[in-house]
Amino acid sequence: MPEISVIMPAYNTGKYIKKAICSVMDQTFSDFELIIIEQNSTDDTLAVIKKLCEKDERIKLITSDIRNPGSARNIGIMAATGKYLAFVDSDDYIEINMLEILLNVIIKNDSDIAYCTFYIDNHKTGAKEMYCMPVVPEGAYRLLDRLDTFDNLHCHVAWNKLYKRVLIVDHGGFFPNFPINEDLVFIFKNFLNARSIEYIDTPLYHHLIYRPLSATDVVNPDAIVCLMKAVDSVIEYYKTRGVYNACKHKIAEVTIRLFLETIKKEYVYNSTIKNMDAILTYLDKTFPGWKDILNTDMKIMAAYKNMDILDKALNKKINFSGRDVILFSASTGGRALLSAFKAGGITVTAFCDNSSPLQNTRVDDVEVLSPETAVKRYGKSGYFIIAADVKYNAGIKNQLRGLGVDDENIY
């Protein structure tokens, strides 16, 4: 029997899957099997797989009509004969030594899970950058001792990790039958059950983003509902294990972040936010007092504030017709809001910023003014939207008031 089983669901990735498969077959560690679950693709995915199967008997092909990636992975888990499991998406690829490195790490301390950081490959631009997980410690840990590791959203994916198969099978840590957000439940279950988790700060996986029709880059109309189901599943599981109260705050933080990511994707692709009321109702019901988290987590608060502005703007609760829009802050928050407004067809007139080096320049082809100049020019006709870090909001609002801007024109 092979030491490792690599599991790869495949649906309509004919343009990418050869690279994915070859990156596995060329590994420096060779004692593995690659189990591909082909999900009745409508392109040439199956033909590509069959051709490669002829060249290497380590490739095992399973055909299925199941379209959900989680359910396909479950088929692979049950078919696997290896002691360890890895998951590779069929439009991604891995470094040539990923299996060898993670296996050595997991064996060294007899850990149940080993995982690494990764590269984000942008299909649109061709750019590649390393994803940084600054709060994850190198070395072994237990989840309940380091709940802060879940602050990184990409801890919640299945594919940059190596697992002991018995961890998943013996504890029932399979994927739920969701079209999306299935990784969240899988990771929360298995990280909780792991006796030891090992992280290395070495990028060994390449995750492709902005691929046309990718499950992670297309707005699924059921995304919000699936995320709610996933969170409910996590909560129920943690309650049955008697650890929910200890983890409730962190689960709430992760939930808020994931909702914000889902909303962000929705307005970038569709220029609208349809589910804000449903999300707020869910959060009020599931995590009473959840807004207190916003007051203690500046990054979440800043993101939420921007989403709230976008909700009002894109759903016409703020009428920008005939008004100038000035974003206060030409740094990261302002540029992100500018991109979102452009996607929603809203024209930004100018930035204003207290930073002297930025004043009288252009950022993303929008001029940057001093607050005094911006108010003098647009104070009577403009909406001033504060896009700075939330800790500066009160001071900026008072500054604009002092310059003569009415409260009703400050957001």
Q: Could you give the angle at the alpha carbon of 199 between the alpha carbons of 193 and 202, nearest 5°?
A: 150
Residue 331 neighbours by CB distance under 10 Å: 15
* pLDDT given for residue 350 in this prediction: 94
Confidence bin at 142 (pLDDT 50/70/90): very high
Tokens of residue 14, six digits: 């004919």
Domains of the chain listed by start with CATH number: 4-209 (3.90.550.10), 223-296 (no CATH), 319-409 (3.40.50.720)
pLDDT score for 217: 45
Question: Model's pTM, two decimal places?
Answer: 0.75
- In three-state secondary structure terms, 404 is coil
The larger pLDDT score, comparing residue 132 to residue 75, is at 75
pLDDT tens digit string along 372-394? Answer: 999 999 987 788 988 776 667 78
Spatial distance between the Cα atoms of 164 and 190, rounded to a whole number of angstroms: 10
Q: Which residue has the higher pLDDT, 278 or 341?
A: 278
Residue 220: pLDDT band with limits 50, 70, 90: low
% of the chain at pLDDT higher than 70: 81
Using alpha carbons, list the distances in angstroms from residue 189 to 186, 243, 252, 325.
5, 12, 16, 45
Q: So what's the pLDDT on residue 261?
A: 72
State the DSSP code for 130: E
* Contact predicate 348/341, CB 8 Å: yes
Residue 340: alpha-carbon gap to chain centroid: 17
Q: Determine the average pLDDT of the residues in 310-336.
A: 71
Query: According to the model, what pLDDT value does residue 185 have?
Result: 95
Strands 32-38 and 59-63: parallel
d(CA 341, CA 348): 7
Q: pLDDT for 83-135, tens place per residue?
A: 999 999 999 999 999 999 999 999 998 999 999 989 988 766 777 777 766 56
Q: Is the pLDDT of residue 314 over 90?
A: no
Q: What pLDDT score was predicted for residue 242?
A: 97
pLDDT at 73 over 90: yes
pLDDT at 158: 94
Alpha carbons within 13 angstroms on the beta-carbon side of residue 69 total 25
Q: Which tens digits make up the pLDDT trace of 174-184?
A: 999 988 889 99
